[in-house]
Structure 1
Amino acid sequence: MSAMKTSSGPSLTFTRPPFDGSLTYPEVFDYNAQRNPDHPVFQFYDQDHIQKITWSEVTKAIHAAGRVVLHHVVRKDSIPVVGVLANADSITFLTVVCGIIRAGYTAFPISTRNSPAGVAHLLASTGYEYLFVSADSAMQEIARMQDGINLIPMPTFEDLYLNNDSEPLPHVRPDLEQLALIIHSSGSTRFPSPISHTHRFCMMHGVWLSYGDMDVCGHVLSAHGSVMYHLMGYWTIMAAASDGLTIAVFPPENPPIVPTPERVLKGIIDTNSTIVFCVPSFFEAWAHDPTAIEVLTKPTVALFGGGPLSKTAGDSLVTKGVPLCALFGSTETTFTAKMIPKETPAEGWEWFEWARYIDYVLVPIEGEENMFSVIVKENPKTGYSPAVFNTKIDGIRAYDTKDIFIRHPTNPKMFKCYGRHDDQIIHSTGEKTNPTPIEKTITVDKRVTAAVMFGRSRFQPGVLVSPAPGYEFDPANEKDLADFRTSIWETVSKANKEAPQHSRIFKEMIVVTHPSKPFTFTSKGTLRRGAILEAYIKEIDAAYEAVDNISPSNILVPQKWSIDEITEWIRRIVHTLLCTDVQISDEQDLFAVGVDSLIAIAIRNTIVSTLRKNHVISMGAIRSLPQNFVFNNPSISVLSAFVHNAIVSSQADGNTHTAEEEEHDDDESEPVVSFTKLPESGETVVKLRKGKGEPPLIVFHGGAGLAFDFRSYPEKFRTAVWTVQVTPDAPMTSLEDLVAFYRRKIKEEQPTGPYRFAGYSASCILAFLITQEFERQGDIVSALAMLDLFPSIFVHIIPAGELPNRREEFIGAMLKMMIDLTAWDKSRNSSVDGLRSAINGTGGSPIQRLAMDIAQKLGGMISDFCLRPDIEVWMRSMKDVKAPITVYVAEEGARLIPMPEEEQEDLGASRWVPGARVVRVPGGHMDFLEHDLVIVGLQEGYL
């Protein structure tokens, strides 16, 4: 192999190892220990200053990890594969993986997010027999489910770096075709697939940086947001070994620190990182944070990889000075974009240049201009080769990436990623729509020849429909257009029922083709999707504009904004838009008397524009009004109450100032909540954040009954959020009594709906019962969320038989489940012993003792409810709840509880409540509550 450059830049502590084949990868570690002993490999911020670990220290630790391998692994005729399944800090994880390779074996880092079935699949695929496993109960449980595996305790940072007195390993020089590393795919659409990297393939990483624009020797790369079991993470140690890059990480704590946008940003600051490298979701979070943007303007380059970054976020960051660049690659091909450009390309942050060391073939997408799929070939001139082959080009082995790219219209060297062959539509909300099943359902209609969905970077999707022969018409004729939309609406409604809520199509977002501008097809008969959407871009924009702007004028505006005046005002709006003189009762469902989605949007626009023009409430309160508040308040009386409540809440906070004044609103009026004191009578409803007049999200406590689990929500939420906790005056006699008590307390604080509920952990049953009770009393519940538990979980722990102590057994099983969930959560391991002591009455803090007392009482009430003979009748009644239901499932949370296999992935939601939306969230049962997927999802429509 050859490189464009053979030496690093000037450095007093680093001399670049040779990558001409004279050294193998394990030998590079020893080379660096001898020639670059004082050059830092890792650095982290701890004890008020930056701590550095040098090559002499790291190599010694790598040898220590290798000694553990030699002690436990029996060498046979074939090279053993040693897996690593561990919740460990980045330094320890990388050191153990390198130790396996230095010992002459094959390392297989495994994602801790894999299910037991996923790990079993990887076991069957690779035949590995040895597995490093961390001591936490979650990984131990997964490991125990694997047959025929020899478990090796995962060393700690202290074992490898502080208490290391092991002997150096014997010298090894593996064959370059021997497997050094196995990296698996994400398994997002199937089980993860193992991808083998030979020593030759790994050595290539020591060459590729030499083809980039930057000499990275001495630079500090922030890897705080990278996971080390993926190539994005493991690549960092290879870059450190070849080019003298220093890896910035979190301090080596146990359990390891979970990366969040806030923590990663602090890590970048604390370690003086000069290169930032992480997945797009962090950049999308930072794009809305002025402090983050200021920090990100200081590094030399900010790289994203691993997925697409929304154009809105990318444009915003670059406009404000962030040196953003795309880094593209895959586990099968490694990095195929030019490594570490020194600045944002002139063509834009999305564009990249293919790396000069690869040889690639562009395959035109039929019917599309400047759009190609890419096949990556072996390149004998540079020594590059993909790790996987699935085709040949002119007799040369190659890998078909199945990715589609767009070539820049004026600079043919630059490309940007368009997506996969099965490309999804990404909306402005970040939600994704898979158009294929929706389009297929619509084209079943005899009136439709073809359908193409649209909505990229828009709030909601629409569909472009080509009428079948005999049904063509001029869509400029509004009556014919309305009739056609109505004729196919039953079919579109069927597609909507099968689609996620964010992918549903409004009738007004059906755009019909003109006979003079029919769909175009490739020679293979497939739709020229890009060309079709481009041809109808004006019609699509007009549809969105029409939906956004409709609102009637000349409607008399209230003077005093009393509830009576607001009700009369909304009556006039509804009657005007319906164009009817028929009297509509204030209590009638608006959608039963002729209001459709277009009119509903017009009602919303009229209300919002009037409130804005008359300065009735602040701009912040207006921005907080949900997009779908008319749909959530579908009668004149309920809608009037909603508007009145928004006005009263805003005026009570003094927020009737103008848009300019709004910019200086620092939320000083937000309540200060103490999470350390014990709750007192009368403190059932805790208002964590007031918001700006929108209906609050009301979160019901977990099994411990306290508000403590939501202590981050006052800071993380931007909309109103309350929590309900157990207080001394709460009746802990039965779930029905507690529901009645909670309903009364909520009604005292929020007399009218709509209501938004979320049940966390053990309160999932309570949340369903409360929702049923509110709906039974005629109240509207516009959303119901289940936070990492579902009522069917409790059905599975009902003791068998008619034993007299079934109640006690149930309570014991529930308490064990609580302890297990706490133990599995990496952020709460330290709480387990205290909780156990509190249960046994031998210790624990006052809050822990109170929490376990509440848990036992709540467990008894849930037990009494679940041990009823008609419990399954009630379970079946959950599907009759009218409120939209979302179930958030923590990857390392409740899904690890033993339950039927078919319920493992969604906690049984699809079985008992068909149509419930399920969102998978990284993290454990407690720390997942702070994940962006949960924080943003619970505020959906109100941000």
Structure 2
Amino acid sequence: MAPVAVASVAVEATLRDLKASVACTSTQTLLDVLTHAASQYPEHELGFVTSSAHDSSIQTKTFSEFAQYVRSLAQVIRSWGKPTGSIVVVYLTEHEENMAAVWACLLAGLVPCLQPALSAQQSHKEGHVAHIKGLFGSATWLTNETGAEQLLSIPDLDIHLFSQLKESASASDPAEFKAHEPKVDDEAILFLTSGSTGFSKAVVHTHRTILAACHAKGENYRLTSESKILNWVGFDHVAGSIEMHLAPLLYGASQVHVHPSAILSDPLRYLRLIEEKSIEIAFAPNFLLAKLTRDLEKRNELFGTFNLSSLRRINSGGEAIVSKTAQAFAATLKNLAKDSNVSCVISAGFGMTETCAGCIYDPIDVLANPPAHEFLELGTPIPGCEMRIVNPEDGVTLRPDGETGELQVRGPMVFVRYYNNTEATSSSFVEGGWYRTGDVGIIENGKMRLSGRIKDTVIVHGVSYGIPELETHLQTVEGVTHSFLAAAPYRAPGQETEGFVVFYSPTFSLDEEDAPAKLYATHRALRDVSVKMITLPPQQIIPIPVNQMEKTTLGKLSKARLIKQFKEGQLVQHVARAEELLSIARGASFVAPSTETEKTLARIYADIFNNNVSDVSASDNFFELGGTSIDVIRADINSGARLKREGEAAFGLPEIPTIQILKHPVLSSLASYVDALSSKGGYQEEYDPIVPLQLTGDRTPIFMVHPGVGEVLIFVNLAKYFQNERPFYALRARGFEPGHPFFGSMDEMVSSYAAAVKRTQPKGPYAIAGYSYGGVVAFEVAKRLEAMGDEVKFTGLINIPPHIADRMHEIDWTSGMLNLSYFLGLITKQDAIDLTNPLRRLSRMDQLDLIWKLSPPERLVELQLTPQKLDHWVDIAGSLIECGKEYNPSGSTESLDVFYAIPLRGSKADWLNNQLKPWAGFSRSEPTYTDVPGQHYTLMDFDHVPGFQKIFRSRLEARGI
């Protein structure tokens, strides 16, 4: 009987899909889509992973539950008394809230307009809201408490809170509600453009255009009622709302919608969701493909662990897809999959807000069919859509196959008009209903690929930003000649995302005496404006004299010509001149060294950095001149001994402690310290755990807590990789300097460190990490900062488990000295093992004497150790051990990033699974566990730190800092 049962199931499935097909073809409006989905597939689900989810938990509603829920919301919305067809600006962040608000508005007879995140710039935000109010002739907003706060400064807005809407809906009876009955050509949903040529336009999509797009997408994707979709694109984007929600809903397909932060903070969540929910179709733009590859391609321990057999296709759009990135991602996916035959179809797509998202696709297995071009082809149109390439000058003359021109599309999924903007609408179409996309493309053998843009936009990580608006703000920078500035999109070969170059004519001559200072200030301002406007600094800023900056006969700068000159190296002399002037720009704050100590240090600085001594200022900062913490402690083959040794020789001092040089990077400050050190009374300063190892750059600083030996010089190799990117501070234990007592408890240490971090960086977000023993201290400091109300975006724990008390009790003075000696490179790991028992039979002084004799002389010189210093150092390490003996972790932080190397004993697998995985109990989101090269005591050395820093940086970027 079993075959009969199977056949029966198959017949039922076929009948179900036939019914679904009939339902699809009978839908006339979007409300029919919801009604049919709820009636045909009441138990199919909409799943949501929110921004506040601390793990991969999914909140779900069945289609039936969701339909009832939005009807109750619609009943309350109708009570607002708005006329049918009124526009409601929906400004929410979570997928479920946005989705529910849109459906509720449609059911109530109102037109939702999805609003992306508002600008952080007050003037731009207020201007945009005023523009929207004027465009719609009304100002009804549906938002959350955070959104309402952003809108407080703007008068005459009718603001409704979604939380209050839900509360009121809970007391309503949706059975009494009669839904609005729209016509097929009524306005359904409005989408706002990026505002690339000023303020946003509102794209009008009707029930007809959206349904046409949904039918065509469904046919192209081969959607059925059994399909399962994974989306993480924001619902305010047409890809998130139409492509990944409405189209699947039309076919009865279940969906999971994930807040972008959940994927960006933990890329593994993307794969876990595909596996857990048997996802068939997912979406991932180029920058996410690149990020997933960077984060996962070397995770050998994860290879072959994911069941990805359900995955049929990954759609990708928003920006051009780099072929190498797609291939690297596909290879990584194959490595991670249990079945090496998993589908690696990546479907690069072209689409716009005006075309209901993707309308041209090319699904291709990039490993089986290696791409022929730098970027993936975009393929052929979806059913009902047409494309052509024409002469951009007249907009109608067809280009032959293989020649570039303006891409135009037409079809029933193309928008009908821009709201209240007939001029923009008419200029967007040519005879025959062809829509002018503004992109430059090529069609060869029936497949299309893009080669540029006519429209002035730059796409950063899939988000389109307007060049004209950026230029308008850049033109206001002091030092820029009016109308002689151009910003042009530029993407270097192999670059993962698009960037831009700024060309401008300075208002001053580059031969002026104060040109360096003026140029420095101008370029700094241009970078700052760019970051504020589009989150990205220019790849290059090139000053060109006015008489060499040619304009067209219409009085415009030719960006195409400037970019061509830049690519061909014709502007290299301007780039070189700018670099020369910027290198001496610090002369604007020049302070002549006055004391003999300052003058001596100025000569040393000049020698180190190959400068004239007359150019060295008393206000010069060692790090800003290009020095690194390594320069302080190591010799350089070109310029001889570094600052430390030259200073000791010049001033006749037995030692200038390395740490004090790092703490006094400004020449005048170091001079004051040297003078105090040389005085008869010696030098005593208040304890400050902060040691700056790198001070250049303006991104979020890193605070790195010392390992169990208390010292921080172990981090100097790592710090150099962050030069000109972000400051790098280390936290050093108390007790190294005379008169400073050891810490008496973990709480005292954490209090001291948290206060020092706040003094150095008064406000979050913070990034803090700790190596070995320092990891648990970093965890406690992060907790303390969060308790103060601060945001800690990154907490890094390097090769340390949460439970250390037992290990601390195992360490006596002898083993502590051996650990320290091995850590400092005085003995080998085997020495440390072999000497453990023999040393315990010796006195403390004899133990020190033996270690001293085994130590390499050059290493002792490099560390400037004496037997007395080594003895004291062992006591410092011992004091930290005492602080850890009673340590029991508790509480949690928002997130944890755990890095693991080969442990001191046991296998790496056991170390990870049994010792490190318990960190999951102390994080409010799923921790990440990242394999790093090297062993416990070697992962920061010269051989391994280059690899470690790449991995470490990728986790910082994943946390958004």
TM-score by length of 1: 0.50
Deviation at 1:198, TM superposition (A): 1.5
> Would you say how many aligned residue pairs link Structure 1 and Structure 2?
640
Aligned-pair identity in percent equals 13
Deviation at 1:248, TM superposition (A): 0.6
2:378 matched to which residue of 1?
352
Are the counterparts in 1 of residues 210 and 356 from structure 2 also a CA contact under 8 Å? Answer: no
In structure 2, do the counterparts of structure 1 residues 28 and 711 end up closer, same or farther at CA, with 3 Å as the change threshold? closer
Deviations 1:485-511 (A, max 9, x none): 999879856753652259899999779
2:295 matched to which residue of 1?
289
| Alignment of 1:139 onto 2:139 | no
Are the counterparts in 1 of residues 361 and 380 from structure 2 also a CA contact under 8 Å? Answer: no
Q: CA RMSD in A?
A: 6.9
Moved more, 674-683 or 179-188: 674-683
1:126 matched to which residue of 2?
136
2:450 matched to which residue of 1?
416
1:796 matched to which residue of 2?
none
Q: What 5-or-longer segments of structure 2 have no aligned partner?
A: 1-11, 120-124, 334-343, 419-424, 531-536, 581-598, 643-661, 675-689, 695-703, 722-727, 734-742, 759-767, 773-777, 800-893, 895-953
2:569 matched to which residue of 1?
539
1:28 matched to which residue of 2?
33
1:239 matched to which residue of 2?
247
Measure the CA separation in 2 of the matches of 1:315 and 1:411. Answer: 23
Measure the CA separation in 2 of the matches of 1:644 and 1:154. Answer: 46
1:181 matched to which residue of 2?
189
2:234 matched to which residue of 1?
227
| Alignment of 1:500 onto 2:506 | no
Measure the CA separation in 2 of the matches of 1:231 and 1:507. Answer: 33
Deviation at 1:27, TM superposition (A): 1.9
Are the counterparts in 2 of residues 181 and 196 from structure 1 also a CA contact under 8 Å? Answer: yes
Are the counterparts in 2 of residues 275 and 300 from structure 1 also a CA contact under 8 Å? Answer: yes
Measure the CA separation in 2 of the matches of 1:281 and 1:59. Answer: 35
Which of the numbers 261, 265, 290 marks the counterpart of 2:264?
261
Residue correspondence of structure 1 range 399-798 to structure 2 within 5 A: 399-401=435-437, 403-407=438-442, 413-416=447-450, 418-419=452-453, 421-424=455-458, 456-457=491-492, 495-496=522-523, 498-500=525-527, 529-530=559-560, 533-534=563-564, 537=567, 539=569, 574-575=606-607, 578=610, 588=618, 652=711, 655=714, 684-685=755-756, 688-689=768-769, 707=788, 709-715=790-796
Are the counterparts in 2 of residues 83 and 110 from structure 1 also a CA contact under 8 Å? Answer: no
Measure the CA separation in 1 of the matches of 2:714 and 2:389. Answer: 58
| Alignment of 1:108 onto 2:108 | no
Deviation at 1:262, TM superposition (A): 1.9
| Alignment of 1:331 onto 2:402 | no
Any idea what SS the aligned residue of 2:381 has?
Answer: coil
1:341 matched to which residue of 2?
363
| Alignment of 1:80 onto 2:80 | no
Deviation at 1:334, TM superposition (A): 1.9
* Counterpart AA for 2:241: Y
Measure the CA separation in 1 of the matches of 2:484 and 2:160. Answer: 59
Are the counterparts in 2 of residues 185 and 194 from structure 1 also a CA contact under 8 Å? Answer: yes
Deviations 1:309-366 (A, max 9, x none): 7899767645645765544333223225425835458245554235243344545568
Any idea what SS the aligned residue of 2:439 has?
Answer: strand
Measure the CA separation in 1 of the matches of 2:473 and 2:713. Answer: 49
Larger Rg: 2
1:395 matched to which residue of 2?
431
Deviation at 1:306, TM superposition (A): 4.2
Q: What 5-or-longer segments of structure 1 have no aligned partner?
A: 1-7, 251-255, 468-481, 550-566, 618-628, 719-826, 828-929, 938-943
Deviations 1:59-92 (A, max 9, x none): 3334333333444436x5xx33252646474234
2:282 matched to which residue of 1?
276
* Counterpart AA for 1:275: I
Deviation at 1:238, TM superposition (A): 0.9
In structure 2, do the counterparts of structure 1 residues 16 and 684 end up closer, same or farther at CA, with 3 Å as the change threshold? same
| Alignment of 1:205 onto 2:285 | no
Are the counterparts in 2 of residues 374 and 400 from structure 1 also a CA contact under 8 Å? Answer: yes
Are the counterparts in 1 of residues 223 and 248 from structure 2 also a CA contact under 8 Å? Answer: no
Deviations 1:371-400 (A, max 9, x none): 544444x43xx5755544332765334544
1:63 matched to which residue of 2?
71
Residue correspondence of structure 1 range 836-875 to structure 2 within 5 A: none
* Counterpart AA for 2:447: K
* Counterpart AA for 1:330: M
Measure the CA separation in 1 of the matches of 2:166 and 2:433. Answer: 42
In structure 2, do the counterparts of structure 1 residues 155 and 548 end up closer, same or farther at CA, with 3 Å as the change threshold? same
Are the counterparts in 2 of residues 304 and 327 from structure 1 also a CA contact under 8 Å? Answer: yes
Are the counterparts in 2 of residues 107 and 182 from structure 1 also a CA contact under 8 Å? Answer: yes
* Counterpart AA for 1:40: E
Any idea what SS the aligned residue of 2:354 has?
Answer: coil
Which structure shows the higher helix fraction?
2
In structure 2, do the counterparts of structure 1 residues 313 and 189 end up closer, same or farther at CA, with 3 Å as the change threshold? farther
Deviations 1:90-149 (A, max 9, x none): 234313422332344433344564757644543442245765555x37538848966484
* Counterpart AA for 2:148: M
Deviation at 1:203, TM superposition (A): 1.5
Deviation at 1:218, TM superposition (A): 3.2
Measure the CA separation in 2 of the matches of 1:19 and 1:424. Answer: 38
2:590 matched to which residue of 1?
none
Deviations 1:538-585 (A, max 9, x none): 637988999999xxxxxxxxxxxxxxxxx99995784487586xx559
2:912 matched to which residue of 1?
none
Deviation at 1:605, TM superposition (A): 12
Deviations 1:888-935 (A, max 9, x none): xxxxxxxxxxxxxxxxxxxxxxxxxxxxxxxxxxxxxxxxxx998997
Deviations 1:215-236 (A, max 9, x none): 465333222x333233233213
In structure 2, do the counterparts of structure 1 residues 676 and 165 end up closer, same or farther at CA, with 3 Å as the change threshold? farther
Measure the CA separation in 1 of the matches of 2:505 and 2:754. Answer: 59
Are the counterparts in 1 of residues 27 and 33 from structure 2 also a CA contact under 8 Å? Answer: no
Any idea what SS the aligned residue of 1:249 has?
Answer: strand
Measure the CA separation in 1 of the matches of 2:104 and 2:545. Answer: 62
In structure 2, do the counterparts of structure 1 residues 539 and 49 end up closer, same or farther at CA, with 3 Å as the change threshold? closer
Deviation at 1:15, TM superposition (A): 1.9
Are the counterparts in 2 of residues 65 and 155 from structure 1 also a CA contact under 8 Å? Answer: no
| Alignment of 1:99 onto 2:99 | no
Deviation at 1:26, TM superposition (A): 1.5
Deviation at 1:535, TM superposition (A): 5.7
Moved more, 147-156 or 410-419: 147-156
Deviation at 1:179, TM superposition (A): 1.4
TM-score by length of 2: 0.50
